[in-house]
Structure 1
């Protein structure tokens, strides 16, 4: 968007939603802003309202970690300061809650057959330190049970070809199981396949 002032023409980079809302807001006024300062004020109001609507729209669909939400807003083109302040307000109001998000995320990924390593990595990518999650890992998984979980996940797949053992190990490690757990589970799966033949 380009604006003219006594200094010449300035170009503003705005999210599409903000540009459209600003255009509507300016069209609804009886007269255009009389100064650059007034225009900047109107713009900041419109930008804040659009960003709030965007956050609420996203939260209506699913939960987000605070870092994910801030990244979404920045990717949409909102200024960093506004993103940080807005996310902080939603965190304070408990509408964005990293602990709640992490708890739901961990439980859903465990039921999807993910291993501990991948869950920890994905939480870190979302800005959540797994060490700050109360009860991690013992309230969520039994380290003694990790091998059994890997075995059950691997049983759902068929491993054929030149090296089914390596295929199974790669698959399980991709799911986030450690190399030792994946190797042990792969041996069990292949032993069961050989025994069943």
Structure 2
């Protein structure tokens, strides 16, 4: 039985420069491996993030020990390191839960450690999707994004707008959208017969609805001295 295995040694293998380069070429992060060596000289490799392997070197569990005890020790180190990495990322900028989880998994942390880190960060209010979404929406509105583009980006970050209190009424109105859309094209030249279509396409590419884009462009054309 696997549960009766006794681990007598650990071999820690961290990625070298060549391994990191190969992983980067495929869009991944190179992982380290902790090899459990049992009393029969069997070897069981476990892939972990390099920071976990380095931490294990400083906190080597007492050996020989049961496989379960060694795995528990590794999992405890991984959970602590994963949370520290999450806090470090959040100290640089706010993240949505979904994007933070993807970043941690991409760095090589296993799902159990990631889920625990996210839950702890949520409990401590280090992450808050409603707070993140509220700031993000206002920031992107100031940057000239339309509602559709904002919603698409929130979805990509794992945020369901149906869970945001007061959405969309408290964040968007058609009159405000038209004003923001118009501001983007108020100074754009309109010098040929296809000018109207070009302006509409520009606004739609920014995430404004076709109706909002049409309204804003009509206003621009009515006041245009170019045609």
What is the Cα deviation at residue 175 of structure 1? Answer: 1.2
Structure 2 alignment gaps of length 5 or more: 1-32
Change beyond 3 A, Cα 1:72–1:147: same
Partner residue of 2:63? 33
What is the Cα deviation at residue 112 of structure 1? Answer: 0.8
Change beyond 3 A, Cα 1:63–1:160: farther
Kindly indicate which of the two structures has a greater share of residues assigned to strand: 2
1:79 equivalent in alignment to 2:113: no
Partner residue of 1:147? 178
Equivalent residue of 2:144, what SS? coil
Partner residue of 1:3? 36
1:13 equivalent in alignment to 2:47: yes
TM-score, normalising length from structure 1? Answer: 0.84
What is the Cα deviation at residue 67 of structure 1? Answer: 1.4
Equivalent residue of 1:12, what SS? strand
Change beyond 3 A, Cα 1:158–1:40: farther
1:23 equivalent in alignment to 2:53: no
Q: Which sits farther off after the overlay, 90-99 or 1-10?
A: 1-10
TM-score, normalising length from structure 2? Answer: 0.74
Quick one: which of 208, 211, 214 aligns to 1:183?
214
What is the Cα deviation at residue 192 of structure 1? Answer: 4.0
